[in-house]
Structure 1
């Protein structure tokens, strides 16, 4: 069940407060032996406690409705991510003929090297799409596709290796996307000042018997050894003011789910280990 929202929390406090107040008041009347008939006191107690019970019943129903609303929103996001994947697949199919025509034209003109480079780029896009389709989570697959497209727009080579479907992951897709999104964004920022030919980001998603291993590496400058723990502290950043929350958020999510995160450098590689469902902690 989800955590109490403010209206539900207020309802619970009022119900408990009402019961506590009438209990104290009743004890006061009994202690000072007031002239109010005992039957009236009992009747008031019954009414108030009945109202309290009714309040908790309404609170329970409200929580159920709230949980259903959350489920509906999650399903809506799930559908949006599926639609995004379908659009990407359709776009790939639509562009395929155009790519073939372009390669054929370059071959006709004898531009073999240009055709080779063009094919390498096209097959790279297809490979990324094929890799992400292995994942059971369309939300995560859609995020990886979007980050790969962003890397292409920034002239960053994007390496991708996916050797698992993440079917036993205990982290919700939303939180896993926060982990991957922050790590990939940081990796792309780290290589942007390099020459185009030197920009490289790599994502690996693997597994062993107990855990899933997510690795995000980049070809940017290394991280000094004395900073490798500080970079996970909230507010710490080498990129200026009002920065430095991304890695702190990543570590918090990872630790909340019983995982670990470490960084090695150079080359800079962030490795997140998350336990599988049912694995021994």
Structure 2
């Protein structure tokens, strides 16, 4: 059983006990049970639980306090006001637990992200430096072939050389270091998995009015989710998958379009894919956080998001106002 499932079961039990104490004189216990279930289900859909980062000591301490609060409410004074106060204390403690858990998890994600960014930038720099170092050697080789009237061999050599340079050029052209690093890493991942990937960027992605950290989250989740879906598509269909990323500016709007091959997605997943946590188009052990994080970043920057999943292709459209 996942931590999230355990938490919401315990949450529902605590809510039930508090409601039963408060309303025991006016309605039977099964009404409190139903209300507790409804409340827990609602918050389960709206709130992300990331309390693992607090550690077992903090979580155990908070749980013990919650148990004491319930016992005081259940066996303490009969006054309704006192029971309501205990319920408010319970709500405040849970709010603190969830808030602290989210903050700690966010800090850990940022630290991990910074490490990955550094690795991606270093790898991109290493590739560019290597290509620059070998450039004169390639020119000399082509020059030698042409001097010896080996035009066809020279053309074939240049074609292979340009194809290799395209991989790096797609990623770094006009981009800031962190964005170039993510694009380059995703491009290499696609090529390693034999996934066809195309970057069609009229203007650099770095021109989006989003700070670097959120840009890395946006692009990383966008392409990461697309590649995950493509890998599963290739595994089960036996056909080459495709990812395309388009970016351009029109009428004061930045428009970002990501398309990828996908297996059929259940309608209930699509309906809440970008609006609640825990929904994912992928099978296996996936938390379903990426799509909601994308939605949050777009919304925080006054943007708009919509998507279409049809005929084996998932298309995500993002529009962000061109406002600094």
**Aligning the two structures, in what range does the TM-score lie when normalised by the shorter sequence?**
0.5 to 0.7
**Contact 1:161–1:205 at 8 Å: present in 2 too?**
yes
Aligned equivalent of 2:221 = 182
Aligned equivalent of 2:304 = 260
Distance 2:227 2:206 in 1: 28
**Contact 2:172–2:184 at 8 Å: present in 1 too?**
no
Aligned equivalent of 1:54 = none
Distance 1:120 1:223 in 2: 40
Q: Cα–Cα, structure 1 residues 257 and 164, in superposed 2: closer, same or farther, change >3 Å?
A: same
Distance 1:121 1:219 in 2: 27
Which of 196, 206, 210 matches 1:157? 196
How far did residue 219 of structure 1 move?
1.9
Trace 1:64-143 onto structure 2 (pairs within 5 A): 83-94=122-133, 123-143=162-182
Q: Which has the larger radius of gyration?
A: 1
Aligned equivalent of 2:265 = 223
| TM-score, L = length of structure 1 | 0.57
**Contact 2:179–2:205 at 8 Å: present in 1 too?**
no
Matched, 1:235 2:278: yes
How far did residue 144 of structure 1 move?
0.2
The alignment yields a C-alpha RMSD, in angstroms, of: 3.9
Aligned equivalent of 2:65 = none
Which of 253, 262, 281 matches 1:211? 253
Aligned equivalent of 2:289 = 245
**Contact 2:117–2:182 at 8 Å: present in 1 too?**
no
Distance 2:159 2:228 in 1: 24
Q: Cα–Cα, structure 1 residues 93 and 251, in superposed 2: closer, same or farther, change >3 Å?
A: same
Q: Cα–Cα, structure 1 residues 125 and 176, in superposed 2: closer, same or farther, change >3 Å?
A: farther
Q: Which SS does the other structure have where 1:228 is aligned?
A: helix
Question: Structure 1: which 4+ aligned runs deviate by more than 6 Å?
Answer: 75-81, 98-101, 118-121
Any unmatched runs of 5+ in structure 2? 1-113, 146-151
Moved more, 182-191 or 127-136: 127-136
**Contact 2:208–2:254 at 8 Å: present in 1 too?**
yes
How far did residue 220 of structure 1 move?
2.3
Q: Which SS does the other structure have where 1:180 is aligned?
A: helix
Q: Cα–Cα, structure 1 residues 88 and 219, in superposed 2: closer, same or farther, change >3 Å?
A: same
**Higher share of residues assigned helix:** 2
| TM-score, L = length of structure 2 | 0.50
Deviations 1:121-164 (A, max 9, x none): 75344224223333342211111011101111112121111111
Q: Cα–Cα, structure 1 residues 166 and 186, in superposed 2: closer, same or farther, change >3 Å?
A: closer
**Contact 2:172–2:180 at 8 Å: present in 1 too?**
yes
Trace 1:5-24 onto structure 2 (pairs within 5 A): none
How far did residue 200 of structure 1 move?
1.7
Q: Which SS does the other structure have where 2:273 is aligned?
A: helix
Matched, 1:270 2:316: yes
**Contact 2:253–2:320 at 8 Å: present in 1 too?**
yes
Aligned residue-pair number: 197
